[in-house]
Structure 1
Amino acid sequence: MYKYFSSAYKFGSIAGALSVIAFVALSFLYPDPTNLNLVFGYVISPIAIFLAIKFFKEYSNNGYLSFAEGMSLGFVTYMLEAILSLIGIWIVLQIHPNLFEQIKASKLDVLATSKDSIVSQVGLESYGMTLESVKNMVSLDIALNDGLWKIIPGLFFTIIISIILRRNPN
């Protein structure tokens, strides 16, 4: 079992740690680091998935890779990245509640300044529900959102990378 997932553990852990580090670093530069951290995740996730699958294929499986193996490795990689990112961001927000309040205020400000545009697109009722949900937001919501946005693109990238790197014995 370790043979199958050793590269996934390594690269998933590195990607999760880098995601938390990016969140902290971006929090010093921007009042709301969540959006840029999501963009960082879109860059680091496919790299981590590719490296985990490629290392398994080349160094543990004699150059062969089935689609199922690629999907399994990718799944472990992006889930580990998402879980570590979720836990790390939640801990950072628990330790620094001012950062959470700053992020919440930034999101409320965006809703207030874009009210007319949002209402014209989704209606006043949806805008009101969104405003209420942001007002009731807790730090776990921010961490969960980040984790989910590691999983969704991670699945997409895993499918593509597994197809590209697939090579079965003749």
Structure 2
Amino acid sequence: MYKYFSSAYKFGGIAGAFSVLAFISLSFLYPDPTNLNLVFGYVITPVAIFLAIKFFKEYSNNGYLSFAEGMSVGFVAYMLEAMVSLVGIWLVLLLHTTLFEQIKESKLEVLSGSKESIVAQVGENSFNLTLESIRNMVPWDIALNDALWKIIPGLFFTIIISIILRKNPN
């Protein structure tokens, strides 16, 4: 079993650590690092999945890769990335409550700044529900959102990369 997932553990863990470091670095530059960290995740996730599957294919599986093997390795890579990112960002926000309050305030400002267009599109009730959910937001919500936005694209990228790198023995 280790043969199947050794590269996935390495690249998923490294990508998760980079994601946490990116969140911390971006927090020094912007009051709300969450959106740019999501963009960073869209870049690092496919790179980590590609490298995990490629290293598995070349160094653990003699140059062969079935679609199922690629999906399994990719799944472990993006799930580990998401879990490391979730725990890391959650701990950062728990330890630095001023950063969390700064993010929350920034999200409230963005919401109030676009109130008219939101109300016109989805109605007053939806706007008020969104406003209330942001007011009740906790650090776990931000960390979970970041992790989910690594899992969803991770599945998509894993399918594509597994198809591209697939090579079965004749």
Structure 2 length-normalised TM: 0.99
CA drift at 1:122: 1.1
Matched, 1:34 2:62: no
Matched, 1:123 2:123: yes
Identical residues among aligned pairs (%):
80
Whole-Å separation in 2 of the counterparts to 1:73 and 1:9:
9
Amino acid at match of 2:160: I
Matches of residues 74-85 of structure 1 in structure 2 within 5 Å? 74-85=74-85
Structure 1 length-normalised TM: 0.99
**Pairs aligned (count):** 170
Q: Residues 102-141 of structure 1, C-alpha deviation per residue, up to 9 Å, x if partnerless?
A: 0000000000100001111111111110000000000000
Q: Residues 129-166 of structure 1, C-alpha deviation per residue, up to 9 Å, x if partnerless?
A: 00000000000000000000000000000000000000
Whole-Å separation in 2 of the counterparts to 1:79 and 1:37:
17
Matches of residues 20-169 of structure 1 in structure 2 within 5 Å? 20-169=20-169
Q: Cα RMSD between the aligned structures?
A: 0.4
Whole-Å separation in 2 of the counterparts to 1:166 and 1:86:
30
Whole-Å separation in 1 of the counterparts to 2:53 and 2:122:
41
Whole-Å separation in 1 of the counterparts to 2:107 and 2:117:
15
Whole-Å separation in 2 of the counterparts to 1:11 and 1:125:
44
